Structure 1
Amino acid sequence: MTAPSAQYTHGHHESVLRSHSWRTAQNSCAYLLSSLAPDMHILDVGCGPGTITADLARLVPQGHVTGIEHGAPDVLQQARAAAVAQGVTNITYALGDVLALDFPDAAFDVVHAHQVLQHVADPVRALREMARVAKPGGIVAVRDTDFAAMTWHPDDAGISLWRETHRQVARANGGEPDAGRRLLSWALEAGLAREQITASASTWCYSTPEEVAWWSSTWSQRVLSSEFASGALQHGFVTQEALDGMSQGWKAWGSQPDAWFAVLHGEILCKV
């Protein structure tokens, strides 16, 4: 059976990778960390520039972590170089597709995906594949953002338009931007047992002047230069003038002394 496809909404512009490289195991998969043991073998799906992946490898020094990314060899090369620079040796990077994982059944103690299922055309199939390659008694761990639940202050019309446009583009690309609230439902549809699933939520919150400046800077660039921008224009959702307004909105928000932004994530921890 041919796997359904979806286009990655963000792409791999420098501003996107700069944002993704901020992520660590501590700020992006804290819900999983207490379940790890030093000798585990972990699959990190959608590893991107590999900052979470390398952190996980450090937490399983007698084990091994495999990071896979779909269709982005340059990003994987960046991840490999970072691992070498950091002296992390128990790690392997490869191209891979969560809808058709190129691993045997029961290959990993933990199968992890951070902000991946929102970009997948068939998240239920993805979860079935993740469960297939997890060992009996192993863990499938997924965390995904929920764009509709993002909240910020002060209000800004440019940021509000960005969020609604992002949701339009993501769905036109075949994904689901409000994935966080749906993870439990998708896991049940994938056949995972309810009594073996822990569902939770956590946030990123940008509130200090340094955090606000960084967050607003990355997004003011992303709305103009990433695949989101070209997708929004190609689908006819907005004009270039509107994109410029979104960028200015991010800059204006970031200049406010009371600027605050919260990103809600849904999480599921599933025993297989």
Structure 2
Amino acid sequence: MAKETATYIHGHHESVLRSHAWRTAENSAAYLLPELQADSTILDIGCGPGTISADFAALVPKGHVTAVDYAPGIVEQAEKEAESRGVANMSFAVADVHDLQYEDNTFDVVHAHQVLQHVGDPVQALREMRRVAKPGGVVAVRDSDYRAFTWFPEAEGLTKWLDLYEEVARAGGGEPDAGRMLKAWALRAGFDEKSIRATSTTWTFSSDAEREWWGGLWADRALHSDFAKQAVAGGHGTQDELQAISQSWKSWGENPEGWLMIPHGEVLARA
């Protein structure tokens, strides 16, 4: 069966985890929350530092959350997050979404946030997610759509950043515009169209604190994350170009007129 073939563009630098640890069930999985029951069993794929996973566990006190990620070190961080919250109804494992180690019909909910944009075969990933979901269970995926990012004021450095990001992501086998493709991928994975609810939501950053936080973390990511390393190593960009992109993010964050909208595609499909 297919194995992971894509290169994870972000890596796990502190500037990346800074944004991942900000994510909650409320700001990143609101479309799924009405489906959760007190006794739901949930598989959370690509759990990252575990903040969404631990939120799920609190929402299903009689259920269980299995949090998995491809990176062993990140799974350890998710375990620490659960421990810090005193959450007991969770377990953790290293897993490849293309070839999950679980039996058919195991989970009430199979969830992946910002995962399919980074994998080599998103259709196979959805087939696996469907396989391990119980009949009538829910497969829920949410991914951003980079080409649809919108910001103000216009900035040459941010346009360069977006072009470079998409080039590096695709060179590594990913699909940065995954949000718009989720429904198509679900259909190709075998879900009936009547079982699919395709929606969208956004993150918006505009206040002084929001701009400072988002602009600052991308100023750091442009220089220190795996994205920066892959950009230079692959001949997609130079260190000077990355430095200019970093400064553009800083300048945007300092501008009181600054505004950024990040759209996400969402699919909730019944197995």
Do structure 1's residue 148 and structure 2's residue 147 form an aligned pair?
yes
Do structure 1's residue 59 and structure 2's residue 59 form an aligned pair?
yes
Partner of 1:212: 211
Partner of 1:3: 3
Q: How does 1:41-80 map to 2 (within 5 A)?
A: 41-70=41-70, 72-80=71-79
Secondary structure of 2:31's counterpart equals helix
> Could you tell me how far apart the structure 2 residues matched to 1:132 and 1:120 are?
18
Partner of 1:24: 24
Give CA-to-partner distance per residue, 1:234-255, whole Å, 9 cap, x none: 1111110000000000001111
> Could you tell me how far apart the structure 1 residues matched to 2:201 and 2:43 are?
22
The answer to whether the Cα contact below 8 Å between 2:44 and 2:110 also exists between their aligned partners in 1 is yes
Partner of 1:122: 121
Give 5+ residue unaligned stretches, structure 1: none
Do structure 1's residue 264 and structure 2's residue 263 form an aligned pair?
yes
Cα distance, 1:207 vs structure 2: 1.0
Give 5+ residue unaligned stretches, structure 2: none
> Could you tell me how far apart the structure 2 residues matched to 1:85 and 1:189 are?
40
The answer to whether the Cα contact below 8 Å between 2:112 and 2:141 also exists between their aligned partners in 1 is yes
Structure 1 stretch displaced more, 83-92 or 138-147: 83-92
Cα distance, 1:6 vs structure 2: 0.7
Give CA-to-partner distance per residue, 1:28-85, whole Å, 9 cap, x none: 0000000110000000000000000000110000000011000x22221111111111
Secondary structure of 1:268's counterpart equals strand
Cα distance, 1:203 vs structure 2: 0.2
Secondary structure of 2:251's counterpart equals helix
Q: How does 1:121-270 map to 2 (within 5 A)?
A: 121-270=120-269
Secondary structure of 1:27's counterpart equals helix
> Could you tell me how far apart the structure 2 residues matched to 1:182 and 1:73 are?
29
Cα distance, 1:155 vs structure 2: 1.2
Secondary structure of 1:216's counterpart equals helix
Runs of 4+ in 1 over 4 A off after TM superposition: none
Secondary structure of 1:98's counterpart equals coil
Paired residue total: 271
> Could you tell me how far apart the structure 2 residues matched to 1:134 and 1:145 are?
24
> Could you tell me how far apart the structure 1 residues matched to 2:4 and 2:223 are?
28
Give CA-to-partner distance per residue, 1:152-203, whole Å, 9 cap, x none: 0111111111111010011000010000000000000001000010000000
Cα distance, 1:3 vs structure 2: 2.2
Which one-letter code corresponds to 2:208 in the other structure?
A: P
Aligned-residue RMSD, C-alpha: 0.7
> Could you tell me how far apart the structure 1 residues matched to 2:54 and 2:137 are?
20
Cα distance, 1:2 vs structure 2: 4.3
Partner of 1:33: 33
How does the TM-score come out when normalised to structure 1?
A: 0.98
Which one-letter code corresponds to 1:214 in the other structure?
A: W
Cα distance, 1:4 vs structure 2: 4.8
Which one-letter code corresponds to 1:119 in the other structure?
A: H
Secondary structure of 1:195's counterpart equals helix
Which one-letter code corresponds to 2:174 in the other structure?
A: G
Which one-letter code corresponds to 2:221 in the other structure?
A: R
Structure 1 stretch displaced more, 181-190 or 3-12: 3-12
> Could you tell me how far apart the structure 2 residues matched to 1:4 and 1:103 are?
17
> Could you tell me how far apart the structure 2 residues matched to 1:95 and 1:159 are?
35
How does the TM-score come out when normalised to structure 2?
A: 0.99
> Could you tell me how far apart the structure 2 residues matched to 1:116 and 1:95 are?
14
> Could you tell me how far apart the structure 2 residues matched to 1:24 and 1:104 are?
28
> Could you tell me how far apart the structure 2 residues matched to 1:245 and 1:92 are?
43
> Could you tell me how far apart the structure 1 residues matched to 2:36 and 2:16 are?
29
